[in-house]
């Protein structure tokens, strides 16, 4: 409970979570969490990965049934209702709206259809679109969140899709809006626009719970901050009294220093792309006339909003995408046909963007995943037979050196947490001392400790003399790791000398650099 002395004006309560507890097997994902939300405030929910933020919100929204605890909502008159647990419909009826981190839109339907989806009776004879439009245009006018109602969602930009998601919740008369990492895919400018609109609605009485990893957003946008760690609430404070270090202390339990960057010393060129074009890849742009040289001993950061060619770029360096024109050379050798095997043998280590999908075979053991890229090496096989003892030794060494924690080297790697899976992949990539390392979103979804481990390893590899390409949507990460910064927009790579968020943000949105 918030003590009255900490806030000047106590606004009326609108939502109260009491003693929310959820176990998953032996793991306590949420341990008796109390959380209050007042009318007309933005509450930021912060915590490392696995701290229980999403579990808590899923219990609020009825997607999980809590083991203990209850959700209380209050109407305008202060009348209290306890929501039945495990029923999303009850949450919707209580006017709680949730915007998930991953969009839940039907790409082939229009914006209007997407918003109306689920609000109309299945068997109603006539669709009352006129009143729906009226309500929506009023909503858009009041909130400042606009979207073209008759355009199909697949033709929208990411920022527009985000607005549609929020409009969808507002159309259902949400009084409480839960935003799960809403800016993960937005440019800084798009994020600012979204925050401004939401701020206006909050002033009109909307209440918002806002989950984020980005501290500067939380400090700029929220009224109050609640911090979770290991399923417990470890702190709650007004944003105006908070600063970065005090928040991080609550999140990780100790003072934490982000690794500080010492500028790398570039040496000989390792990778050269000359006028490379590719086809579009995975729904994103193809590369257009990309020229790039990466030297040994430097980290080249590629910033940009996803879908602008990053997956074609990463696919190219990984050997999964062929250039249609232009050529790729590694260590002054032009690579004729790019395959993963060829790139591996040329000394390229790859940390894939989607570590579960491309990084590991989750039903195979930790030990097996650690050698999957080196099956032809003499310490892994002899005459086609796997050298089990040597593979196990390798796994014991690597899990110890890279601090990969889990149920053991013979356990399925699916049982590892996200951070430990990433450490497994790092161990596999770095133990071969690659000349070039492609790190695609290497810290996405990792908590502070795991993320700074990854950063330190990349610095180490750079200082040993490897060239590193870092692709990240997190501008903070690029700024803190990269020696050189490139911006990817519309399949083109542009180098920027600036380290200013606004300048880089503009370039990410395709604007001219000033």
Partner 1 sequence: MMQITPKENQSQWVSSGIPIIAAVLALLLAAIPLAFAGAPILEAYGHMIKGVFGSLFNFTEMLTRATPLIFTGLAAAIAFRAKLWNIGGEGQFYLGAMAAVWVGTGMIDGPPALMIPLVLFVGAFAGGLGMLGPAILKTRFGADEVVTSLLLNFIILIFVQMMLEGPLKDPMGLGWPQSEPIVDNAVLPQLITRMRLHAGFVLAIGTAIIAYIILAMTVWGFKIRAVGENAAAAKHAGIGVNRTYLAVAMASGALAGMAGVSEVAGLKGYLTADLSAGFGYTGIVVAMLAGLSPLGVILASLYVASVFVGADSMSRAIGVSSFIADLIVSMSLICVLLGGFFARFNLTFAKKQVDTK
Binding partner 1 (rule: CB under 8 A), the pick from 32, 68, 380, 392 is 380
Smaller CB separation from partner 1, 210 or 402: 402
Residue 156 beta carbon to partner 1: minimum distance, rounded to whole angstroms: 27
Question: Could you write out the DSSP letters of every residue in 269-311?
Answer: EEEEEEEEE---BTTBPPP-SEEEEEETT-EEEEE--TTSSHH
* Distance between CA atoms of residues 3 and 8, nearest Å: 11
Q: Which stretch binds partner 1 (CB under 8 A): 7-15, 246-254, 376-384, 395-403?
A: 376-384
Residue 483 beta carbon to partner 1: minimum distance, rounded to whole angstroms: 27
* Distance between CA atoms of residues 417 and 24, nearest Å: 14
* Distance between CA atoms of residues 274 and 287, nearest Å: 12
Q: Does 378 bind partner 1 (CB under 8 A)?
A: no
Terminal alpha carbon distance of the chain: 49
Binding partner 1 (rule: CB under 8 A), the pick from 323, 352, 442, 505 is 352
Residue 352 beta carbon to partner 1: minimum distance, rounded to whole angstroms: 6
Q: Does 385 bind partner 1 (CB under 8 A)?
A: yes
Q: Which stretch binds partner 1 (CB under 8 A): 30-38, 78-86, 218-226, 494-502?
A: 78-86
Work out the angle at residue 301's Cα, subtended by the Cα atoms of residues 289 and 303, and round it to the nearest 5 degrees. 70
- Residue 130 per-residue DSSP state: H
Smaller CB separation from partner 1, 391 or 509: 391
For 228, 302, 425, 468, 482, the CA distances from 479, given in Å and listed in that order, are 27, 10, 23, 14, 6
Could you tell me whether strands 42-47 and 68-74 are parallel, antiparallel, or unpaired per DSSP bridges?
A: unpaired
Q: Does 81 bind partner 1 (CB under 8 A)?
A: yes
What is the contact mask toward partner 1 in residues 390 to 429, using x (rule: CB under 8 A)? -------------------------x--------------
Q: Does 283 bind partner 1 (CB under 8 A)?
A: no
Smaller CB separation from partner 1, 1 or 361: 361
Residue 363 beta carbon to partner 1: minimum distance, rounded to whole angstroms: 4
**Contact (CB, 8 A) for 272 and 471:** no
Binding partner 1 (rule: CB under 8 A), the pick from 76, 80, 241, 490 is 80
Question: Could you write out the DSSP letters of every residue in 441-508?
Answer: STTTT--HHHHHHHHHHHHHHHHHT-EEEEEES-HHHHHHH-SEEEEEETTEEEEE----HHHHHHHH
Binding partner 1 (rule: CB under 8 A), the pick from 7, 49, 87, 189 is 87
**Contact (CB, 8 A) for 348 and 429:** no
Burial of 241 (0-12, 13-18, 19+ CB in 10 A): exposed
Binding partner 1 (rule: CB under 8 A), the pick from 373, 435, 447, 483 is 373
Q: Which stretch binds partner 1 (CB under 8 A): 220-228, 283-291, 315-323, 480-488?
A: 315-323
Smaller CB separation from partner 1, 262 or 414: 414
**SS3 at position 171:** helix
For 3, 36, 65, 110, 228, the CA distances from 69, given in Å and listed in that order, are 21, 13, 10, 40, 17
Q: Does 376 bind partner 1 (CB under 8 A)?
A: yes
Binding partner 1 (rule: CB under 8 A), the pick from 127, 138, 267, 341 is 341
Q: Does 360 bind partner 1 (CB under 8 A)?
A: yes
Residues that bind partner 1 (CB under 8 A): 24-27, 65, 80-82, 84-87, 90, 318-320, 339-341, 344, 350, 352, 357-364, 368, 372-373, 375-376, 380-381, 384-386, 388, 415
């Amino acid at each position: 409970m918030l003590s009255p002395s900490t806030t000047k004006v106590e606004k009326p309560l609108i939502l109260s979570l009491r003693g929310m507890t959820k176990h998953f097997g032996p793991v306590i994902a949420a341990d008796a969490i109390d959380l209050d939300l007042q009318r007309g405030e933005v509450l930021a929910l912060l915590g490392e990965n696995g701290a229980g933020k999403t579990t808590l919100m899923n219990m609020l929204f009825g997607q999980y049934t809590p083991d203990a605890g209850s959700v209380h909502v209050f109407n305008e008159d202060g009348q209290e209702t306890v929501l039945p647990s495990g029923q999303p419909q009850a949450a919707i009826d209580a006017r709680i709206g949730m915007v998930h981190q991953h969009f839940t839109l039907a790409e082939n339907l229009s914006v209007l259809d997407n918003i109306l989806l689920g609000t109309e009776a299945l068997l109603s004879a006539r669709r009352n679109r006129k009143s729906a439009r009226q309500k929506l245009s009023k909503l858009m006018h009041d909130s400042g969140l606009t979207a073209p109602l008759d355009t199909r969602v697949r033709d929208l930009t990411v920022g527009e899709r985000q607005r549609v998601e929020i409009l969808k919740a507002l159309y259902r008369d949400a009084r409480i809006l839960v935003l799960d990492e809403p800016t993960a895919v937005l440019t800084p400018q798009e994020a600012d626009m979204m925050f401004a609109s939401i701020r206006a609605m909050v002033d009109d009485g909307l209440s918002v719970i806002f989950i984020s990893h980005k501290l500067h957003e939380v400090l700029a946008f929220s009224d109050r901050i609640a911090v979770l760690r290991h399923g417990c609430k470890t702190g709650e404070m007004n944003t105006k009294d908070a600063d970065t270090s005090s928040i991080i202390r609550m999140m990780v339990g100790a003072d934490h220093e982000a690794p500080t960057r010492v500028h790398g010393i570039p040496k000989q060129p390792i990778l050269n792309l000359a006028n490379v074009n590719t086809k579009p890849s995975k729904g994103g742009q193809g590369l257009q006339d990309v020229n790039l040289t990466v030297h040994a001993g430097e980290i080249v950061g590629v910033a940009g909003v996803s879908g602008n060619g990053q997956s074609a770029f990463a696919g190219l360096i990984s050997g999964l995408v062929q250039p249609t024109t232009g050529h790729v050379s590694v260590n002054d050798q032009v690579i004729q046909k790019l395959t993963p095997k060829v790139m591996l043998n040329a000394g390229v280590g790859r940390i894939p963007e989607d570590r579960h999908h491309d990084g590991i075979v989750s039903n195979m053991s930790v030990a097996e995943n650690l050698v999957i890229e080196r099956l032809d090496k003499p310490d892994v096989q002899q005459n086609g037979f796997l050298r089990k003892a040597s593979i196990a030794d390798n796994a014991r060494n690597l899990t110890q050196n890279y601090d990969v924690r889990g149920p053991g080297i013979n356990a399925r790697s699916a049982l590892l947490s996200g951070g430990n899976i990433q450490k497994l992949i790092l161990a596999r990539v770095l133990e071969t001392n690659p000349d070039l390392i492609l790190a695609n979103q290497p810290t996405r979804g990792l908590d502070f400790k795991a993320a700074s481990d990854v950063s330190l390893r990349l610095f180490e590899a750079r200082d040993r003399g490897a060239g590193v390409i870092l692709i990240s949507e997190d501008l903070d990460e690029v700024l803190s790791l990269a020696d050189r910064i490139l911006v990817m927009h519309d399949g083109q790579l542009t180098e920027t000398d600036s380290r200013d968020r606004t300048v880089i943000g503009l370039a990410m949105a395709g604007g001219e650099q000033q």
